Amino acid sequence: MDAKEPAESEEVIFEDLDLIYIFSSDLGAPVEAEDLKELLERFSGRYRRVEGIWIPPEEVRPTPEFIYHKAKGLGIKDADKIDIKELIKNEKFIEEIIRAHATFGAIISEDRKVFSPEYLELGRYARLELIDLNVRIKDRKLSYLNELKCELYLLLHTTGICVLTAWIHLSGNFSTDDLIGIGKELYYAECTIEDPLGNVLEGTLDEFIGGVIIKTLRAAVLFKGKYGSYDAAFDALERGDITDDKIEERLRTPYLSARAVLCIRKHKCNGKCVTAEEAVENHLREIVGISRACEGWRYQRIDDARKGLGENLSPDVNCAMFVTDPVSLFFGFQHTG
């Protein structure tokens, strides 16, 4: 992957970023806690891009699809003919699976800290790690980004709500205008989306997330009753019997909430910022411009910019956090020159 060249030297340059999209959507109806496991197993068998499933209070369970995919990647001969119970006897193999789920494991250990054991025992929600996507940008304006890795995590709650998180790392150097463009356009940019299993989709992240993942889950939850099973509902979706219109008319709300969080770990400037707190003050227009996706950020009045950013939620001067619209910001501090 080619890193992007710095923009003009007098500008602030941001480096080492993560752009995180968080989508919350209605699946149309509640899912009983005892049905959740079956839904996830059927979804994972059909969608074939699920790496791991966690239904509290149990441990994370890697899916058979992921175990075989990993075994093949590690060069285990005739992996698909070996029983899973045999494969997972290999300690190195298990270490590899745990390494692959490091971020997923960190999310789950946060849940275990935040929620009481009594709540987790109820199994009211589940988390899934989906297979990483390779996103090749075709859109002319963003083509300099080349290829991006996108990690996907899904949360399903028995109330029939799902939250999908798409985590994209941006390596290289970016100006304020670059980041405003990325924040506005990346989600709708034409790209080729590939996964390591060889599935390829030409389209946008919006089409993939809404049109593939969320639509599949909505079809399962809304039409299991009509067709008799989750699998039969997936078949009906594939045949085209379950259309977008039929899904939409049964939803409790068509509203799909999309939020973006930009994590900036480093920046380069001509100033003398020593902490994230100072960096926010010194580069207020840039930071507010990114958070508001405002191309006219250079002309913003400073007191208006300060007001727009709101309260810094970080208790620590080496980090700054703002919940802003349309892009929330997590600003870490590592000055690189």
Residues forming contacts to Zn ion in the complex (CB under 5 A) are 269, 271, 273, 279
Is the Cβ–Cβ distance between 130 and 154 less than 8 Å?
A: yes
Triad 30, 31, 34: Cα angle to 5°: 145
Q: Rounded distance, CA 73 to CA 300, Å?
A: 52
- Provide the minimum distance between the beta carbon of 194 and Zn ion in the complex, in angstroms, as a whole number: 37
Q: Which C-beta is closer to Zn ion: that of 143 or that of 334?
A: 334
- Provide the minimum distance between the beta carbon of 181 and Zn ion in the complex, in angstroms, as a whole number: 21
- Provide the minimum distance between the beta carbon of 100 and Zn ion in the complex, in angstroms, as a whole number: 36
Q: Which C-beta is closer to Zn ion: that of 47 or that of 333?
A: 333
> How many C-alpha atoms does 171 have within 13 Å on its Cβ side?
8
- Provide the minimum distance between the beta carbon of 327 and Zn ion in the complex, in angstroms, as a whole number: 19
Q: Which C-beta is closer to Zn ion: that of 104 or that of 333?
A: 333
Q: Which C-beta is closer to Zn ion: that of 271 or that of 326?
A: 271
Helix, strand, coil percentages for the chain (3-state, nearest 5)? 40, 25, 30
First to last CA, the chain: 23
Q: Rounded distance, CA 103 to CA 122, Å?
A: 24
Q: Rounded distance, CA 18 to CA 23, Å?
A: 16
Helices 215-227 and 33-47 pack at an angle, to 10 degrees, of 120
- Provide the minimum distance between the beta carbon of 265 and Zn ion in the complex, in angstroms, as a whole number: 13
Q: Which C-beta is closer to Zn ion: that of 203 or that of 271?
A: 271
